[in-house]
Structure 1
């Protein structure tokens, strides 16, 4: 394909991504409009709502100014003043990243991948700007500056992941320029760091990713068990809301969009700091302080009192950190054969903790935000506390894992091949 065709296809993929992202909300809202209102209400208000939801999922804050009649119905005096909603439904964020990654893989397979990336990001910028302008009104107004930047950043992150993944899959020599670029980067790293340093860094990265994956996986299971264990309360909240069939379906879809947020909240609970459902509230393994919360049915799964053995949840990140270290330890010892082990094993353990802390802290940052006025401006985990607790717990557990077992296990591994830069040392 030539440069123009490549750019046009990338722009089309970005257009489809934005269209599906908005359609995920627009289609069920339109069905609700048709069933409940018989096509009589203003459909364009549904378009604005769907665009606001999509922008919110891409990190754009929404300024809300409620009419006086609605404020009186909420019973919240703080709702009379404009407030910001910034809690992103991470399912929509993940969708944009995945679609961007798919486009990035295809772009990496062409000679004009730079044009594809630029066309994709540029298309998202234009579409996000146009839709944000069309969705703005007095009640709900997305931040135009954020709409220009944040959706493109989210999609661009996916593109970057896809391009790197596509390059990794390419056979040697598939594209001369890409191959030479990868070789220059690798040679530069070889000049600055020997293979022993790279082995420690690689072990820290692999172990940190494994630890975060394990913690998030256990958190997803825990969330499922909490929902099943509190299914009666969740059902009663559905019934008390009197949403009807269509309204219940739309509410369920909205809650599904926030399931990744709830998984990260559960991970924050396991790590220790927990999360908040409003200023002054705290839900953690050691105590639970909950004030008035939104009446979403899925929040019925939130623990409402102190758990007698809640502190046992803190053992999960410790156990996972230990297992992550034992997984990467044999390969690291094999790579360090003939070198002092204690210092490098300890450094790798600290690296595993730092990587996992940074990753889980970022997830906690993305999973929190504001959902309303007053005390509802503080919802979700504290990312700094989550990062610090995770780094300490996983580092200590990883150090124990690195110290366990025999240091002679590396002898059973095949010799590690040396690059040219290493042989010349």
Structure 2
């Protein structure tokens, strides 16, 4: 029996390697399927709970499942189309709730990070277990589920638009995996780019690459993030203030749109999912360009023009009334000024702290900049940060809006390029001089405290020296006493032997 068992085929190293590679590819593919399935399943559970809680549901179970697939595709940026009575052309619904988009992006990010952790060392190789190959398997599994969901949701009264889904779902997945790869692998992730892209980047002059990348890019990105967060926080505050000021109208819209508690819960959940969109709209309002509610209307701090009737969503109840601006609406200019000051504070802090003489605030991107930054570099980083802040604001404004129909409602929300241009201009006008002023003040303050610190250090040094001398003298005295005691114990004569002999009694 042992001879029979031992005569079987032996596993060669190449066979084990091939098995491991096939297992890695299968795990990556399954990771993509799981990420898509979890996102789709979570939305399905939420829709079914709302459907069960509705006292008089006017839809069937199949339409509820259809709605869950529609929402999952909408979360990736895909458009929906709905049938309109007395119209042969379906109306689009292209406003993506940004909070809803967090779910698929987060799941795909986790799957991509796990896949990269199981890949071989990053490099230009494209072997079966190389990061590029595994990410491709992950994307294939994710798009397989997306294709099935699109086939199920592409028909009905509220259906997914196939063209937009085929464009935005892969685009969202690729962008998420690209950001995850950059976060996990750092600069090593550039080796995963196509060879043509790497050659094109290599042709860029070195000085231009140094000015737009490396340490300056890292510092500017950090400051731009601070300014963008300040803009969004201000936009959220403006939204809440508008809802509080028009509280009666908001309550009326909620009661009119949702007469029962289940419907009100659904409407409030929709408002919660659209709250990041509203914060971006508020930021665009504070920057000046404002936003539109269709038919070429403009809602801004200088005034609100007439607009067509909009859906009675409570979140839209905080929109200002039609008419010219007032000093109260003009006061929202403090929002972009505060964002510029926050950006300037971040730049000035890096300009003074990252290169201090005592090595405070050591960071990886500041090691090549010893000492405080010169004023030219400080101004350049602040301007670069303002440009990145404008780009970020433009992207967010483009994602926060969309179309809610044809004709008058074809444009709904802020303009991306206008919002980005205003954000870059405001943060540059206040951020660049603010960074220089704060840098000068912090350096002057540091120079003023330096002499006091030096004097204190000198005093401490003198005290330490005196203490050392006293300690040395005390130690010497104790040593002499111990030596005398030792001599006495050994029976040796003391230094004053004659006196001791005279004082001793005679035998």
**TM-score of the superposition, structure 1-length normalised?**
0.80
Helix, strand or coil at the partner of 1:49: helix
Is contact 2:224–2:385 with CA below 8 Å preserved after alignment?
yes
Residues 41, 279 of structure 1: alpha-carbon distance in 2 compared, 3 angstrom cutoff: closer
Q: What is the alpha-carbon distance in structure 1 between the residues aligned to residue 326 and residue 34 of structure 2?
A: 46
Residue 409 of structure 1: aligned partner: 443
Q: Contact (CA 8 Å) 1:104, 1:166: kept in 2 or not? A: no
Q: Of 145, 151, 154, which aligns to 1:136?
A: 154
**CA separation in 2, counterparts of 1:126 and 1:388?**
39
Contact 1:276–1:380 (CA under 8 A) maintained in structure 2: yes
Structure 1 equivalent of residue 426 of structure 2: 393
**Cα separation, partners in 2 of 1:90 and 1:404, compared to 1, 3 Å:** same
- The change in CA–CA distance for 1:34 and 1:101 in structure 2 (over 3 A counts) is closer
Residue in structure 1 matched with residue 311 of structure 2 by the alignment = 294
Q: Distance in 2 between matches of 1:51 and 1:349?
A: 44
Deviations 1:336-367 (CA, angstroms, capped at 9, x unpaired): 56899344333222212110011100000011
Separation in 2, partners of 1:7, 1:228: 53
Q: 1:5-404 residue pairs with structure 2 within 5 A?
A: 5-36=23-54, 41-68=59-86, 81-111=89-119, 112=129, 113-137=131-155, 139-167=157-185, 192-193=206-207, 197=211, 198-291=214-307, 292-305=309-322, 306-332=325-351, 334=355, 341-404=374-437
Q: Which runs of 5+ in 2 are unaligned?
A: 1-18, 120-128, 356-365, 448-507
Asked if structure 2 preserves the Cα contact closer than 8 Å seen for 1:107 and 1:163, the reply is: no
Q: CA RMSD in A?
A: 3.6
For residues 49-103 of structure 1, the C-alpha deviation after alignment (integer angstroms, 9 at most, x for no partner) is 22222212211122333244xxxxxxxxxx5533322111112222222222222
Greater shift in the superposed pair: 125-134 or 16-25: 16-25
Deviation at 1:325, TM superposition (A): 2.0
Aligned to 1:73: none
Structure 1 residue matching 2:249: 3-state secondary structure = helix
Change over 3 Å in CA distance of 1:209–1:40 after alignment to 2: closer
Q: For 2:92, what is the secondary structure of its paired residue?
A: strand
Q: Which has the larger displacement, 155-164 or 368-377?
A: 155-164
Q: Does the 8 Å CA contact 1:101/1:160 hold for their aligned counterparts?
A: no
Question: How many angstroms apart in 2 are the aligned matches of 1:227 and 1:134?
Answer: 38
Moved more, 387-396 or 209-218: 209-218
Contact 1:3/1:115 (CA < 8 Å) preserved in 2? no
Give the total of aligned pairs.
393
CA distance in 1 between counterparts of 2:192 and 2:57 reads 57
Bigger radius of gyration, 1 or 2?
Answer: 2
- Distance of 1:26 and 1:181 partners within structure 2: 35
Unpaired stretches in structure 1, ≥5 consecutive residues: 69-78, 170-176, 414-425
Please give the TM-score of this superposition, normalised by the length of structure 2: 0.68
Which range moved further: 291-300 or 401-410? Answer: 401-410
Matched-pair contact (CA < 8 Å) for 2:348–2:438: no
CA contact (8 A) 1:368 1:380 kept: yes
**Distance of 1:323 and 1:41 partners within structure 2:** 50
**Secondary structure, counterpart of 2:327 in structure 1:** coil
